[in-house]
Homo-oligomer: A and B are copies of this chain.
Amino acid sequence: MNDQEYSLQEAILYSHKMAQLTKGIWKAIEKDWQDWVKPFNLNLNEHHILWIAYYLRGATISEISKFGVMHVSTAFNFSKKLEQRGLLTFSKKEEDKRNTYVKLTNEGISLFEETIDDHDPERNSVMNASLPLKNLYGKFPEFQELESIVRQLYGDEYIEILDRSLKSLSEETKP
């Protein structure tokens, strides 16, 4: 333990609070996400893979694993299932034979866009739970401290992919 930086008590209080808050929020997001994509015969991991491949306009299995926060084998196995349903294709790039590259088919793009059209923020509990903050501050919270922690945990690349996907999302001109 590093006495100069924090006490053991500080550490355990902080860890406990962090665990209780992020577990609570993530479990609510997970439940809403499952309820949202179930009618499309997708589970959360499958939808997250479609999401990443859609907004990044194609992605490698290792990008999906990293940004989807799932094991490489989970990313590969669920991508395989989506490939078998004709929603995406696998390929290798001539200049980089080691990485498997995932690209949505037209059918995959349509299905993904259907899920987005079907998304109803009113049924999104974390969204609704954030409205008092939005009303108070005039905008949704930005969570820069969380972002800094995630950057430390997963590296700059994770935040770069997040920024790319947010940029791609905001360029969408869908109504």
Residues of B near A132 (CB, < 8 A) are 148, 152
Would A150 and B21 count as touching, CB distance under 8 A? yes
| Chain A interface residue count, Cβ-Cβ cutoff 8 angstroms | 66
Query: Which residues 117-144 of A have a CB within 8 angstroms of B?
Result: 119-122, 124-135, 140-141, 143
Identify which of B5, B9, B14, B146 contacts A25 (C-beta below 8 A): B146
Rounded to whole Å, the gap between the CB of A94 and the closest CB of chain B is 31
Copies of this polypeptide in the complex:
2
**Cβ contacts A86-127/B at 8 Å (1 or 0 each):** 000000000000000000000000000000100111101111
Rounded to whole Å, the gap between the CB of A170 and the closest CB of chain B is 6
**Cβ contacts A8-34/B at 8 Å (1 or 0 each):** 111111111111111111111100010
Interface presence of A165 (CB below 8 A) = yes
Interface presence of A72 (CB below 8 A) = no
Would A29 and B23 count as touching, CB distance under 8 A? yes
Would A162 and B6 count as touching, CB distance under 8 A? no
Would B170 and A13 count as touching, CB distance under 8 A? yes
Q: Residue of B at shortest CB range from A23?
A: B69
Would A153 and B166 count as touching, CB distance under 8 A? no
Query: Which residues 34-75 of A have a CB within 8 angstroms of B?
Result: 67, 69
Complex CA gap A6/B121 in Å reads: 10
Would A25 and B24 count as touching, CB distance under 8 A? no
Nearest first, the 7 A-B pairs at minimum CB distance are A129-B152, A26-B26, A11-B121, A141-B145, A22-B26, A14-B140, A21-B146
Binding site for B on A (CB under 8 A): 1-2, 5-6, 8-29, 33, 67, 69, 116, 119-122, 124-135, 140-141, 143, 145-150, 152-154, 158, 162, 165-166, 169-170, 172, 175
